[in-house]
């Protein structure tokens, strides 16, 4: 099992050198988020994740959650690790001060979460969902609901879930059947079955707060008739203590491909007492608070998986001796050369490294936009951040999930046959990461959201603020000779991005299926171009540092070399996606549904 080391140097690069978190936080009024404070949090966070969370990752996979008589037990060590997580105050980082939180920026919590995810994805999902539940209650709850649930969720003694999926409806939530009937006391009685609920039941916390979508009888069919409810596993007494059991039970847990340490539960609601969150029939609007936070969270899972796979692969590639280098012996004292000398192994390692570090830059930028939307005061700047988030959230969620999964597949490949064997941890990473492409809206659904709703739905207006930043960056750096290899391709790709949008838009005007036919290639194209921008920015910072007085030549040289690899070996993949999408949808639709197998 490879040892997980929190990537503190690169985190510092992204936070402080690339995205100037110091001035970002100061502008938003976060006086406490000084560089010293951030360093201290990250250093302690690294220790916690390396020493407490990483050691339970493999046993969590091997032993998994157990279900017996409706009770879910987490794997050995999970309870103790979660206890330490709470005692360390980790859940409170970005929680609101009035409910016991430390009031630090959301983006810092996202960075800390990357470390928890890198150490153990399955464990990280327990606190991860609690953040989403708190944010949803904070945004849409009544004062009484906030007082009842937030202090416990923020401190971590209660955890949260997100209950959308039902057996017959995953993507199409408009078909949901869970029913919520108004009671005389103003509460609702919920009945129905939810499936695939992550962290739906477990033994880590004294209560579990479910955020549930359901339909009130008489409400419209489809998504317009969905309302949002808060349903505690144990009812909450007037004094805030945990009361009697509510009518929600775990019917079973799934036996699944990965994430064995996280219970994926069937939850049966049998007249469970729930409380309306927000307005009647505005449930999906409320749930979007949760879903947007969760999408950034899933993008982070992709980054964390790429980092963990890279670390494991790199250590192995330096150690494993197989075959002499094509260009002459590199390890004369050994019987063969380490596999890191072989170009193809380097291709895989650099692919992982460029996904992990480029993805971290994109994700951290995204989470700084979230900071602005949460606490920014200037309405124009907030609007600008919201538009950029609308464009970049589906790109980050789907692209970083797909590439994170690719990085784990390279992890298996670098290890050769040993990658397929349990003890090395690579196959677990790959199994654990596949889910990122599925939950929180599959890659196909994120792509439809990007191309159909965000880009074509706004006639391209959603591009404007982000494109303006890219154009400004290119203009500022176009005369710097060392930046030419980055700036010229970005300028060409930005122009082409607009052109292919136009091509798809025109085709879609006569055949709506063209959107669905183009969308995933369009999203991947957009992802490669977006990541190129963050790699170019990283190269710029590294060049400036190298021109100054730095003792870290190797770190900055490695940044530039990885940026060059990205531009020459990964960015060209965008051309393949372009070629596919401009070819249109006809070949996908001409075969009759009955004739796929004859």
Ligand X SMILES: Cc1cc2nc3c(=O)[nH]c(=O)nc-3n(C[C@H](O)[C@H](O)[C@H](O)COP(=O)(O)OP(=O)(O)OC[C@H]3O[C@@H](n4cnc5c(N)ncnc54)[C@H](O)[C@@H]3O)c2cc1C
Interface with ligand X in residues 444-483 (CB under 6 A): 444-445, 448
208 is a contact residue toward ligand X (CB under 6 A): no
210 versus 388: smaller Cβ distance to ligand X: 210
Q: Which residue is nearest to ligand X (CB)?
A: 170
* Residue 420 Ramachandran class (φ > 0 left, ψ -120 to 50 alpha, else beta): alpha
Q: Which of 160, 192, 419, 516 binds ligand X (CB under 6 A)?
A: 516
197 vs 531 by CB, closer to ligand X: 197
Q: Work out whether 305 is an interface residue with ligand X (CB under 6 A).
A: no
Among 122, 150, 197, 204, binds ligand X (CB under 6 A): 197
Of 293, 435, 571, 574, the one binding ligand X by CB under 6 A: 435
Nearer to ligand X, 317 or 398 (CB): 398
Q: Which is nearer to ligand X, 439 or 525 (CB)?
A: 439
Distance between CA atoms of residues 118 and 124, nearest Å: 9
Nearer to ligand X, 9 or 255 (CB): 255
* Per CB under 6 A, 430 contacts ligand X: no
User: What is the nearest approach in angstroms of ligand X to the Cβ of residue 264?
Assistant: 4
- Residues 107-146: x/- map of binding to ligand X (CB under 6 A)? ----------------------------------------
Q: Which stretch binds ligand X (CB under 6 A): 34-42, 180-188, 194-202, 345-353?
A: 194-202
Nearest distance from C-beta of residue 465 to ligand X, angstroms: 28
Phi, psi of 167 (to 5 degrees): -55, -40
How many residues of this chain bind ligand X (CB under 6 A)?
A: 20
For ligand X, which is the closer residue by CB, 198 or 273? Answer: 198
- Binding pattern to ligand X, positions 151-190, x when CB under 6 A? -----------xxxx----xx-------------------
For residue 247, give the DSSP letter.
S
Q: How far is the CB of 441 from ligand X (least distance, A)?
A: 6
Q: How far is the CB of 29 from ligand X (least distance, A)?
A: 33
Is the Cβ–Cβ distance between 191 and 216 less than 8 Å?
Answer: no
According to DSSP, the residues that pair with 232 across neighbouring strands are: 209
Q: Would you state the structure tokens that stand for residue 15, as one six-digit string?
A: 């936070």
Q: Is 561 in the site for ligand X (CB under 6 A)?
A: no
196 binding ligand X? (CB under 6 A): yes
Catalytic residue among 114, 357, 440, 514: 440
CB under 8 Å to 491, separation ≥6 — which residues? 474, 478
Of 161 and 368, CB closest to ligand X? 161
**C-beta of 161: minimal distance to ligand X in Å?**
6
* Choices 310-318, 331-339, 442-450, 462-470 (CB under 6 A): range interacting with ligand X: 442-450
* Stretch of 52-60, 89-97, 317-325, 436-444 lying at the interface with ligand X (CB under 6 A): 436-444
The 10 Å Cβ neighbour count of residue 242 is 16
Read off the tokens for 77. 């060590």
Query: Residue 153 Cβ, how far from ligand X at the closest point, in Å?
Result: 16
Query: E strand or H helix at 66, and its extent?
Result: strand 66-68
Q: Residues near 273 by Cβ (< 8 Å), separated by ≥ 6?
A: 183, 187, 188, 189, 190, 231, 235, 246, 247
Closest separation in Å from C-beta 519 to ligand X: 8
CA dihedral 326, 332, 338, 339 (to 10 degrees): 10
Residues 6+ apart with CB under 8 A from 530: 362, 392, 395, 399
Closer CB to ligand X, residue 72 or residue 259? 259
Yes or no: say if 91 and 156 are a contact pair by the CB < 8 Å rule.
yes
What is the three-class DSSP state of 499? helix
Task: Tell me if 175 sits within 8 A of 168, measured CB to CB.
Answer: yes
Find all residues with CB under 8 Å of 258, minimum gap 6, and list them: 61, 122, 428, 430, 431, 432, 433, 434, 435
Provide the angle, in degrees to the nearest 10, between the axes of the packed helices 484-510 and 513-547.
170
440 is catalytic: yes
- Nearest distance in Å: CB 444, ligand X: 3
Q: Work out whether the CA dihedral 53, 362, 445, 413 comes out positive or negative.
A: negative
Q: How many whole angstroms separate alpha carbon 558 and alpha carbon 537?
A: 14
**Distance in Å, CB of 385 to ligand X, minimum:** 26
What is the C-alpha to C-alpha distance for residues 152 and 240, in angstroms, rounded to an integer? 9
- The token pair that represents 252 in the structure block: 């079973």
Which one of 5, 179, 256, 418 is in contact with ligand X (CB under 6 A)? 256
- Pick the stretch among 20-28, 377-385, 387-395, 439-447 that binds ligand X (CB under 6 A): 439-447
- Rounded Cα gap, residues 43 and 510, in angstroms: 56
Residues serving a catalytic function are 440
In the complex, the residues that contact ligand X under the rule CB under 6 A are 162-165, 170-171, 196-198, 256, 259, 264, 435, 438-439, 442, 444-445, 448, 516
């Amino acid at each position: 099992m490879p040892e997980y080391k929190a990537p503190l140097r690169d985190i510092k690069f992204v936070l402080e050198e690339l995205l100037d978190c110091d001035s970002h936080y100061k502008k938003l009024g976060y006086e406490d988020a000084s560089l010293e404070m951030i360093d201290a949090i990250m250093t302690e966070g690294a220790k916690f994740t390396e020493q407490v969370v990483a050691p339970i990752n493999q046993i969590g996979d091997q032993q998994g959650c157990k279900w017996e008589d409706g009770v879910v037990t987490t794997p050995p060590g999970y309870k103790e690790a979660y206890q330490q997580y709470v005692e360390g105050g980790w859940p409170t980082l970005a929680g609101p001060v009035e409910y016991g939180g430390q009031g630090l920026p959301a983006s810092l919590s996202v960075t800390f979460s990357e470390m928890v995810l890198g150490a153990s994805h399955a464990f990280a999902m327990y606190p991860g969902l609690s953040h989403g539940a708190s944010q949803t209650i904070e945004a849409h709850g009544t004062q009484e609901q906030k007082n009842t649930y937030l202090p416990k969720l923020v401190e971590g003694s209660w955890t949260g879930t997100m209950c959308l999926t039902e057996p017959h409806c995953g993507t199409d939530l408009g078909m949901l059947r869970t029913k919520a009937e108004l009671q005389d006391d103003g509460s609702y009685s919920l009945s129905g079955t939810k499936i695939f609920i992550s962290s739906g039941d477990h033994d880590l916390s004294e209560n579990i707060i479910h955020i549930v979508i359901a339909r009130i009888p008489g409400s419209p069919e489809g998504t317009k008739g969905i309302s949002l409810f808060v349903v505690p596993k144990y009812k909450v007494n007037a004094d805030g203590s945990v009361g009697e059991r509510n009518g929600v039970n775990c019917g079973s847990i799934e036996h699944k491909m990965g994430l064995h340490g996280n219970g994926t539960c069937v939850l049966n609601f049998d007249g469970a007492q729930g409380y309306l969150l927000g307005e009647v029939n505005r449930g999906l609007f409320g749930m979007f608070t949760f879903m947007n936070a969760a999408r950034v969270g899933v993008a982070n899972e992709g980054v964390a998986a790429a980092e963990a796979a890279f670390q494991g692969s790199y250590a192995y590639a330096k150690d494993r001796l197989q075959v002499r280098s094509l260009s002459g012996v590199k390890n004369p004292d050994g019987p063969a050369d380490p596999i890191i000398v072989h170009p193809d192994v380097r291709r895989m390692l650099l692919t992982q490294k460029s996904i992990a570090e480029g993805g971290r830059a994109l994700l951290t930028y995204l989470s700084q936009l979230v900071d602005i939307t949460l606490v920014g005061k200037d309405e124009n700047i907030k609007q600008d951040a919201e538009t950029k988030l609308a464009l970049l959230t589906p790109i980050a969620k789907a692209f970083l999930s797909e590439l994170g999964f690719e990085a784990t597949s390279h992890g298996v490949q670098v290890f050769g046959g040993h990658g397929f064997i349990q003890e090395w941890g690579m196959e677990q990473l790959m199994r654990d990461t596949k889910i990122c492409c599925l939950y929180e809206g599959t890659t196909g659904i994120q792509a439809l959201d990007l191309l159909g709703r965000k880009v074509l739905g706004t006639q391209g207006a959603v591009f404007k603020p982000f494109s303006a930043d890219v154009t400004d960056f290119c203009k500022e750096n176009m005369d710097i000779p060392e930046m030419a290899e980055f700036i010229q391709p970005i300028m060409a790709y930005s122009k082409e991005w607009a052109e292919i949008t136009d091509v798809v838009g025109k085709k879609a005007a006569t055949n709506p299926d063209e959107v669905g036919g183009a969308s995933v290639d369009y999203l991947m194209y957009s992802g490669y171009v977006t990541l190129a921008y963050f790699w170019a920015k990283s190269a710029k910072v590294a060049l400036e540092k190298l021109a100054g007085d730095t003792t870290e030549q190797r770190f900055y040289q490695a940044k530039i070399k990885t940026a060059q690899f990205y531009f020459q070996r990964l960015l060209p993949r965008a051309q393949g996606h372009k070629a596919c999408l401009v070819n249109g949808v006809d070949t996908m639709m001409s075969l009759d549904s009955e004739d796929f197998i004859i």
